[in-house]
Structures are given as C-alpha cells and as structure tokens.
C-alpha cells in the first residue's frame, strides 16, 4: 500500500519552498563612555534592537522625544544595559537626560 502525503503535509512543504525567508532582526551595541556615545550616527533596519551599555562610573538616562517612537530608558548605572527595538522607519534623535551634550542620531530603514 502506497501512502500519499496529506494536504497539510503538502502545505508545509509548499510554504517551506515558496515563502520568502524573513530577515532576522539584528542587535547593535552603543556604549556610553566618557559622557559620550560610541557613535554619533547609526543606521539600522526596522525591527532591529539597540542595546545601550553604560561603561561610565556614573549614571545615564537615555531617551528620545521623536514622535514616531518616544522612549525613556530611565536612570541606570555602570555595567548596566537597556535596549530599544525600533519598529518604524525614520530618523530618531537620542539624548542623555543627565548629560545634554550626549547626542546620537539613529536612522531606521524599512
């Protein structure tokens, strides 16, 4: 007796062969050291995550007031990290509430 594949089996095989592969989101590290971000500008894709790591001996408070995705990571100290996942394309201005000279521009592409 010969077994035929079930319709569900065919659907799974068809999806594996013909569906586009989803791009995996990336993670980017931005270090805070000497009252500065490790980069002044950063380009990422929508869905990517940026990890902000504090390597200073004092606290930082990273935030953005950009309308597309405002956030405030709160105050965190040496050795700690906080992250933001960027959902929408656009240009985001990121700053430190404690050190106003710390500025970063993140460009998110589709």
pLDDT in tens, 85-105: 999 999 999 999 999 999 999
> Is the pLDDT at 2 greater than 90, yes or no?
no
In three state form, how does the secondary structure of 39-104 look?
Answer: CCEEEEECCCEEEEEECCCCCEEEEECCCCCCEEEEEECCCCEEEEECCCCEEEEEEECCCCCCEE
Supply 1's token pair. 């007796």
Residue 6's pLDDT is what?
A: 52
Write b or e for each residue in 78-97: b if 16 or more Cβ atoms lie within 10 A of its Cβ, otherwise e.
eeeebebebeeeeebebbbe
Per-residue pLDDT of 31-88, as tens digits, reads: 999 999 999 999 999 999 999 999 999 999 999 999 999 999 999 999 999 999 999 9
8 A C-beta contact, residue 25 and residue 47: yes
Which pTM value belongs to this model? Answer: 0.79
- pLDDT at site 18: 46
Structural domains of the chain sorted by starting position, each given as residue range(s) with its CATH number in brackets: 25-109 (2.60.40.420)
């Amino acid at each position: 007796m010969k077994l035929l594949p079930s319709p569900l089996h065919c659907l799974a095989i068809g999806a594996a062969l013909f569906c586009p592969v989803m791009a995996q989101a990336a993670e980017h590290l931005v270090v805070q050291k000497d009252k500065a971000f490790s980069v002044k500008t950063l380009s990422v894709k929508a869905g990517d995550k940026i990890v902000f790591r504090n390597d200073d001996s004092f606290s930082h408070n990273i935030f953005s007031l950009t309308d597309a995705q405002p956030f405030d990571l709160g105050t965190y100290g040496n050795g700690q990290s906080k992250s933001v996942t960027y959902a929408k394309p656009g240009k985001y201005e990121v700053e430190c509430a404690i050190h106003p000279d710390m500025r970063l521009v993140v460009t998110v592409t589709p």
